[in-house]
Structures are given as C-alpha cells and as structure tokens.
Structure 1
Amino acid sequence: MTPTQFSAKTRNVARETGLNPQLVQRHYMMDKFLEKIAESSYQDDFILKGGFLLGSKYGISTRSTIDIDTTIRRFKATEENILKVFNDLVKQSTKEGIKFEIKSISETREADYYPGFQVKLFGYLENTRVPFKMDLTTGDSILPEVTKHKHKLMFEDKIIEIPAYPIEQIIAEKLSATLSFGVDNSRAKDFYDLYTIPKLEEIDQKSLYKSVRNTFSKRGNLEKLESYYDRSMESIANSIELKDRWDKYKKENPFAKDISYDETVDSIKQILNECIEQEKISDQRKR
C-alpha cells in the first residue's frame, strides 16, 4: 500500500463514519499491530479490553479510541520484559510495508488498582508517521472467563483471533470506576459505554452480578452494592461538572450526539439496580 492509497482509504472511512481522518489512520495502525500480536508467539499473552475491543464489536462509527487497552498474562510485567516482547513484535515490517517503532515505555497505575505500563509507538508507511499507544495492566481478576474475540481488520477481508475481556467484566470495571470517582470522574466514555452496551448485548444478570461483585471486592469495596448506590448516584446525577464533561464528549464524538446525560445516568442506575437485586437474591439463598 502506498501512502497515497492509505490516505485515500482512511478519508473514505472518515467520510462514512464522521470520524476524524487521523483517528481512522490511528485505528488502522493499531489494527495492524494487533495482527502482529495475533500471529506471534505472544498471541495468548495479551487480553484485549477497553475502547478498541468495543469498537471492534460494534464498529468504530459507534465507538472509537486512541489506544489499545490490554491486560497481560504469562510473563512478568517488568520494563525489561515488555521491551523484549515489543522489540520482537516490531522487528519485521508488515506485508503492506508498515514499520513499527517503540517511542517510550513508562510505568502507570490504573486508578490505583492495577499496576501497568504504557507503550508509545509509531507506525510508519514510508514518510507517513502515525502515533498510537498501548496500555498494559496486570493483576486483573477476570470473571467470567476470558473469551476468544474475532476481530475483522479494517481494509481487508481478514479476521484475527485474540483473547478478550467478557462483556460482563467490561461493565463491572466501568461501573466500579464510575462510582469510585464520583463527581471527579473525567471518563465520559464510561458513561457512553454503560449506556450503549446494554442496548447492544444480551447480558445474563446473574453472571454480570458475579463479575461486578468480584470487581468491587478485589478493589477493596466490600460493602453491599446498595450502599454505593445510596452514597454516589444522586450526586452523580446532579453534577454540573459531569454534565459539562458529557456535553464536551458529545461534541467531540458524533456517535454520542443524540444521547443526553440523564439517559446515561438512568442506564447506570438500571445496571446497578439489577445487580443489587441479584445480590439480595444471593444473600437470601445463603440464609
């Protein structure tokens, strides 16, 4: 693929989806890097999660992102190990002539729960340079079990398989973060996801409750779920700051433009209420 062809293809997708062409270019480079992982000896070491997984499931016109979120397993998360793995992954160009380069590796911590690393990379197609990031966490407790996700590549009729979070775990972590951050939450994308996912997925409520309860407990939140609802939901619903952040998110992401802040809050309330009901049923059975 030439840079001219690459530019034309990404412009076409941008026009069809209403997304920024640079975002489409970045998505393509992340696509090709994920393909490298899926076809390497590290294919089972990275568990896909977050916005890229949701965009893969529902389409980038419904959910776009600027990075790849993963959890790593089967190797110890040290800078030395991660550098070795990524050096192996970027060693060879793709069949399209894309070369990847590691810019930096830095240690991170996701909301004080999971230690991890962020790897910044460049994808090069001749003189075209596209930056993207890959976030790696470790220590996640995943319930139900990891699934095998089939991801269709953007510009070709090809599907790759990669381990991925079950949808219940995605909801559980976003719900936990939403209640933990409260009115200080800057993650408007979580409000969008907690509104959208229940409309696109058939979710088993018992399985979701188990995942939510497990996630809350692993993060040190051992009280009944109802107490977190009572403590946080009213202030979240009435927060001017959160409403303003949501309005900004809507302006920047055309797929969210017709969704009101109140609708996202109602969806979060419904998810949590259903989990509260499951917890009450579970408690009754234990008596």
Structure 2
Amino acid sequence: MPGATPNIGASVRQRLLNRARERGIDYNLLLLRFLNERVLYRLSRSPYRDSFVLKGAMTFDFWVDAGHRPTRDIDLLGFGQNDPDALAAMFREILATEVEPDGLEFDPESVEGERIAEADRYPGVRVRADARLAGARLRLHIDVGFGDAVTPEPSVVSFPTLLDFPAPEVRIYPPETVVAEKFEAMVDLGIANTRMKDFYDIWLLADAIAFERPVLANAVRSTFLRRGTPLPTGVPPLALTQEFAANPEKARQWQAFLSRTGLDEVPALDSLVDVLQRFLLPVLRDDEGDRHQWDPEAWTWRA
C-alpha cells in the first residue's frame, strides 16, 4: 500500500489518541471517523464528486455540535449505474486520488462491492476496502443507495474535520429529507420497526434546526410517494403512540440502542413519541399558505 509517510501517520494516530482521551471518546471509533472523513475528501477531489450525495449518520456532524450516535460507515446516495463491480472500480479510482499526505494507505486489491437489501426495502451496493494508518488496520465500509427523492436539492458544504487537514467539499442530504425518510420507515414498519436510531435522529434534528414547515411537508410527501407508502390520515401512526412505547419489546430495543451507543440525556421512549407527535403530525396537514416555522427551543410550530 504505497503513498503514505510513516511520520505523518504516527503523528495523526497520536493526535487522535490525545483527542479521544481529552473528550472521553472511543479511540477506534475516532480512527474510523478520520478514515471516513479523508475518504470523503478524496471523493471531493475526484471526477466522481457529483455522482454521490452524503446521507446517513455522518451528515449530523454538520448539523449538530455534539451528542450524535457514533457511526462506522459512510452512507451515500448514488446516481447512475448500481452494478457492484462498476462501483468497486469507481471507488478504487477515488481511493487512489492524489491528495495532501494524511498518513492513510489503501489496498486497491481489497476494494470489493456487493449488493445489499435491508429487508428488501432499500436495495443498494456495499463497498469495502482495507486501509492502514501507521500500522493500524482499518476497514472501510460504504453503503450506496439509489433512487430516493431528495427534497429540497442537496447543497455543497465544507465537512467538519478532526485535525488540520483540508475539508471535504461534499454534496449533502438536506435535513428535511433525512426526517422524511426516517418518518416513512416508522409509518411503514409499524410495530415491526427495530430502527430505534430513527426516533433518536429525528428528535436530535428537531432539537437543533428551525425547519420551515412547508419545506419539510414537501419532503415528506415526496418521500412517501417515491416509496409507495400512504400518508397517515386521521389518527397518529402506530410508531408515534403510547401503544408502541408501552410494548415491552420496543422498550427493550430502545434501552439496548441507548446502551450500545452510549447516549445519555435522551427522553424515555414514552416521552419521546409524545414530542415527536408534536413535531411530525402538523407536517401532514395540507394547509395552503402555511408559513409555520419550527422553534427547537420551545418544541413548537410558530406562525
């Protein structure tokens, strides 16, 4: 794996270790966060920069200062062909992009792609590759989905960096579409839903962003239409009811999610579904001329 300067890699590892100790963060997760950040930088410097939009948990690094759940993967929306071999070849080129030395080395022979389908709902391609940082072996995971409706249009942002390296300039999902996709999964899956991360993610975004209700409503309508899920009418969807929160299996899954991610200062599930009702149900109203804006401090919609 050519191309890295050992002294740079050792320096990066030491600085990341110092940061992990100072902030009480898992060092291995921080290594993966650095890996993913620098892969995004290579993508932003490659001819394929416009072929993907960043989505998933990494987008929260741009919207919230702290408190988001850790992630090991890069999630992307892809445009064009979704053939695993073609995507593997594409990322082989991306990882070989010439950039300022950051200590990372990638093994081009290890890059591989395979089809994925989470419960047959969201087909896509998973790309994996091996990397090293001054002797530390890292495994890169990139999930690429296709065909989702993104409303409003993605914007280009400077992605936050851990250390003093150039920032990736990447296209990023709008928070409205993040909320819409997670809300659609809640409605569609109902009591079978095990995606506790979606409840937390929507709560975190609603606690941080002053959404414009017409924009969010448009994103919700577009996502539900694209995925063939009817919009809830009349009564709240099951996932936003006390019946759901009181289900012993859901309570166990919620506690397991909190324990696994190490998150604290998060509402209990019964309180969470109540506040998410307050945020999400008004978005379903078909109010012409709606100009409401979300107040994240007061947790209410204001005209």
Report the alpha carbon displacement of residue 263 of structure 1 after superposing the two structures with TM. 3.2
Report the alpha carbon displacement of residue 161 of structure 1 after superposing the two structures with TM. 1.3
Report the alpha carbon displacement of residue 249 of structure 1 after superposing the two structures with TM. 1.8
Q: Does 1:83 align with 2:88?
A: yes
Identity among equivalent positions (%) equals 24
Q: Secondary structure at the match of 2:168?
A: strand
Letter in 2 for 1:215: T
Q: Secondary structure at the match of 2:163?
A: coil
Counterpart mapping for 1:1-287 below 5 A:
1-59=7-65, 61-73=67-79, 75-92=80-97, 95-101=101-107, 102-156=110-164, 158-222=166-230, 224-227=231-234, 229-234=236-241, 235-276=243-284, 278-279=285-286, 281-282=287-288
Q: Aligned equivalents of 2:162 and 2:32: distance in 1?
A: 11
Letter in 2 for 1:38: S
Q: Secondary structure at the match of 1:256?
A: coil
Report the alpha carbon displacement of residue 256 of structure 1 after superposing the two structures with TM. 3.5
Q: Using structure 1 for the length normalisation, give the TM-score.
A: 0.88
CA gap of 1:60–1:11, structure 2 versus 1, over 3 A, is farther
Letter in 2 for 1:197: L
CA contact (8 A) 2:103 2:133 kept: yes
CA gap of 1:22–1:82, structure 2 versus 1, over 3 A, is same
Question: Which residue of the partner structure matches residue 295 of structure 2?
Answer: none
Report the alpha carbon displacement of residue 122 of structure 1 after superposing the two structures with TM. 2.2
Report the alpha carbon displacement of residue 92 of structure 1 after superposing the two structures with TM. 5.0
The RMSD of aligned alpha carbons is: 2.4
CA gap of 1:184–1:11, structure 2 versus 1, over 3 A, is farther
Q: Using structure 2 for the length normalisation, give the TM-score.
A: 0.84
CA contact (8 A) 1:152 1:158 kept: no
Q: Secondary structure at the match of 2:257?
A: helix
Q: Aligned equivalents of 2:238 and 2:272: distance in 1?
A: 18
Letter in 1 for 2:29: L
Question: Which residue of the partner structure matches residue 296 of structure 2?
Answer: none
Q: Secondary structure at the match of 2:202?
A: helix
Q: Aligned equivalents of 1:111 and 1:173: distance in 2?
A: 15
Letter in 2 for 1:211: A
Q: Aligned equivalents of 2:125 and 2:66: distance in 1?
A: 25
Q: Secondary structure at the match of 2:153?
A: coil
CA gap of 1:192–1:13, structure 2 versus 1, over 3 A, is farther
Q: What are the superposed Cα offsets for residues 141-177 of structure 1, whole Å, 9 maximum, x if unpaired? A: 1111111122022111533211111110000001111
Q: Aligned equivalents of 1:58 and 1:163: distance in 2?
A: 17
Gaps of 5+ in 1: none
Q: Aligned equivalents of 1:177 and 1:239: distance in 2?
A: 18
Q: Aligned equivalents of 2:164 and 2:17: distance in 1?
A: 16
Letter in 2 for 1:85: M
Number of residue-to-residue matches in the alignment: 280
Q: Secondary structure at the match of 2:138?
A: strand
CA gap of 1:227–1:114, structure 2 versus 1, over 3 A, is farther
Q: Secondary structure at the match of 1:200?
A: coil
CA gap of 1:137–1:126, structure 2 versus 1, over 3 A, is same
Q: What are the superposed Cα offsets for residues 169-212 of structure 1, whole Å, 9 maximum, x if unpaired? A: 00000111122222222222111111110111010111111111
Report the alpha carbon displacement of residue 4 of structure 1 after superposing the two structures with TM. 4.0
Bigger drift between 96-105 and 127-136 goes to 96-105
Bigger drift between 159-168 and 16-25 goes to 16-25
Q: Aligned equivalents of 1:65 and 1:210: distance in 2?
A: 28
CA contact (8 A) 1:108 1:118 kept: yes
Report the alpha carbon displacement of residue 231 of structure 1 after superposing the two structures with TM. 4.6
Letter in 2 for 1:248: A
CA gap of 1:188–1:125, structure 2 versus 1, over 3 A, is same
Bigger drift between 55-64 and 117-126 goes to 55-64
